[in-house]
Chains A and B, each alone.
Chain A
Amino acid sequence: MSVQLDARPPVVPAATARPTRAHRLSRFDTRYSPYLYIAPFFLLFAVFGVYPLVYTFWVSLHDWDLLGSDHPFVGAENYTRLMADADFWHAVVNTLGIFVISTVPQLLAALWLANLLNRSLRARTGWRMAVLIPNVTSTAAVAIVFGVLFGREFGMVNWLLDLVGIDAVNWKSDRFASWVAISAMVDWRWTGYNALIFLAAMQAIPRDLYESAAIDGANRARQFWSITVPLLKPTIIFAVIISTIGGLQLFTEPRLFHSGTNPIRGGPLRESQTVTMYMFENAFAPHYNFGYGSAVAWLLFALIAVVAAVNVLIIRRLGGQTPGGRAAKGDLR
């Protein structure tokens, strides 16, 4: 650029100005327009992603009454109080518990479903679309229906349990039972979605691998654990990370699972209150303590980052150890 500028004659005739300007524009174009093309995303991300993130952090350093006009700076006080807040840790355990008992069966079921869908079936596209149907129904509708199904006295699940002679379960005020019920809701919604992602990845696996395995005498199960699963590793990591982010931010399902007074508590003893619900309870009704709620939001952010990292490590380790399949089979279960 500078060389060219130096080489330019001191007085530029009008005739040559044009190509030079066009030339410079074209250089500008090739060099900077890619940034301009992706700029809209980053602008939106800055407005809806970075700004709220930074602002939330700013709020979390203050004693911020949602309705008040005076917000004194308190430094890390919200965080120190939060670290000693038993209800917060209780919500963390709930969230992790629901996450584990929803995500593990969900991904295994999705893998199994994808494997079935990958075979030559009649009306294959129909089956593939069908598994996605739960995903396109509104979460709120799903949560309300499940909330009714899992009712203590009028719920269908307890009625069915009664038919086989099992006592009614108090789905909404028993900690483990409520986790199971909410996980059922999450799995109903997301298993098909993950199955389709796995299916897409499975179709990219070369057929001849299976053929040669078959010639070597490997049965279907052996092929699945020794070829399919190891080659799906990147996709599984992706699905695990996405499920982690979604699972740890779980809100709508547990919130709408409970109805009546103060559903945001997730049961009288906070049996299924997730971290996002705890955040909401503090930032909005009944506490209206925006600063404290913001601190919860930031700790949740940190928690997700940690859990996602741990997940990736575990999945990497699983894949690394097992060029064959036996260890993966054992560990994944």
Chain B
Amino acid sequence: MGAFSRRRLAAVALATASALLLTTGCGGDDAADDDGTITLTVDVFGQFGYEQLYQEYMASHPGVKIVERGTGGNLDEYSPKLTQWLAAGKGAGDIVAIEEGLLVEYKANPGNFVNLLDHGAAELKGNFLDWKWNGGLTADGKHLIGLGTDVGGMAMCYRKDLFAKAGLPTDREAVAKLWPTWQDYIRVGEQFTAKKTGAAFLDAATNTFNTILLQTAGNAQGYSYYDTSDNLVVDSNPAVRQAWDTTMDIIDSGLSGKYGAWSEEWVSAFKQAKFATIACPAWMTGVIEGNAGAEASGKWDIAQVPGNGGNWGGSYLAVPKQSKHQAEAIELAKFLTSAKGQIGAFKAKGPLPSSPQALEDPAITGATNAYFSGAPVGQIFAAGAKNLKPVYMGPKNQAVRTEVENAVRTVELGQRSPDQGWTDAVSNAKKAAAK
């Protein structure tokens, strides 16, 4: 009996202990492998075009293995995940890509990231467009969170087959002449719509709104929802109102296909050629190719954007403090954001370099894109890139932008009148900024 009960007690103790082990024992360390090679994880979203560069880097650095996560993923899903990893102090890659809108929020707590200035990054300043370099710095200029990857120089992508069907010119020079301004663009859209091709003129009013806003704001004071002292100016900044009004004209003329940007329907609409134009920052070319698929190759082309220039999007690479291989990760980040790295990425997936050297490189200036009917993407995007007028982003830019774009969407869907929509936009933006 004694021995029996002792065995039972032991069994219970064992079961308890193993349960505890199960609960605490997970999460082994991913330190160096047995043979001394280390694995660097790179977290990205969308298409960064780094595959070839990784191969090259691994060939010249035998002790390093590179794994990329999140390729092709949606930014809206990536951002909260990254934030959770940072908050938990665990889970983030050794290098993380950060979109400029999110970087603004991260700058408030730079302690989550390695200060690249402590690792000899200062000498790289000349490798980036000034504003791109400054974008990675905290307000006091003492902490460099990220090195710039790409910028979002703007163009207008359009489907030649639909333009031909509507009796519009298809040549990119001629198309650019159709729309020097957004009002011209609306007029062309009305002509297109009158021909009843079965397709809408543009994908979603929100995309066009954001394009117009960034362009208008860039050409005016250089800020949109927040002024440079971080005051919310959504209702007093004329640039916001002007972009809103132009977008309302677009909606009013019935040009939008109302395919919610980035939704399943939006992707289907690409496949089925349901809209003729889409505002096209450089990185969008890769998205179009991915969504419209190989069968639409040669049917798209790229023309000058209405209005003048503008920048939408672009990202940075940062090294989280939680990385166990900071030094190696910094080396890799420097390589990927070097002029050479940026050229490689551009060739693979089209993100426009933020390095002036790369922008002058014949590999960029002479680049064409076969998918877009051989459009000289180098000329179209790179030409304007050096004179891009960036737009300042305030602390809650992302949340405020979400509210205003949702208001655009409610008008587009006929749920709100333009006036109601504007009232919503302003009051919801104020609420979001206060959260």
Contact = CB atoms under 8 A, between A and B. Distances in A.
Interface stretch (B76-84, B133-141, B164-172): B76-84
Nearest to B6: A25
A284 interface: yes
Interface in A282-312: 282, 284-290, 292
Given A40-B19, A44-B19, A68-B109, A261 B260 contact: yes
Given A33-B12, A261-B206, A287 B406 contact: no
Interface string B268-305: 11001010000000000000000000000000000000
B402 A26 contact: no
Given A18-B2, A153-B265, A67 B83 contact: yes
A332 interface: no
A151 B265 contact: yes
Interface stretch (B48-56, B184-192, B235-243, B407-415): B407-415
Contact of B435 (A29, A68, A284, A287): A287
B12 A154 contact: no
Contacts of B405: 261
Given A22-B2, A26-B1, A68-B109, A33 B415 contact: no
A259 interface: yes
B171 to A, nearest CB: 31
Contact of A154 (B268, B415, B432): B268
A47 B410 CA distance: 44
A66 B260 contact: no
Contacts of B83: 66-67, 284-285, 288
Nearest to A30: B5
A258 B406 CA distance: 14
Interface in B413-435: 413, 415, 432, 435
A152 interface: yes
A238 B80 CA distance: 36
A173 interface: yes
Contacts of B86: 67
Contacts of A39: 12, 16
Interface string B74-114: 00100110011011000000000000000001101101100
Given A261-B405, A268-B413, 19 more contacts: A22-B2, A26-B2, A29-B8, A36-B9, A67-B87, A67-B108, A68-B108, A152-B258, A259-B264, A260-B266, A261-B260, A262-B76, A262-B406, A265-B402, A284-B80, A284-B84, A285-B79, A290-B87, A292-B435
7 contacts: A29-B8, A33-B9, A40-B15, A69-B111, A151-B264, A269-B415, A286-B402
6 smallest CB-CB distances across A and B, nearest first, come from: A22-B2, A260-B263, A285-B80, A284-B80, A260-B260, A40-B19
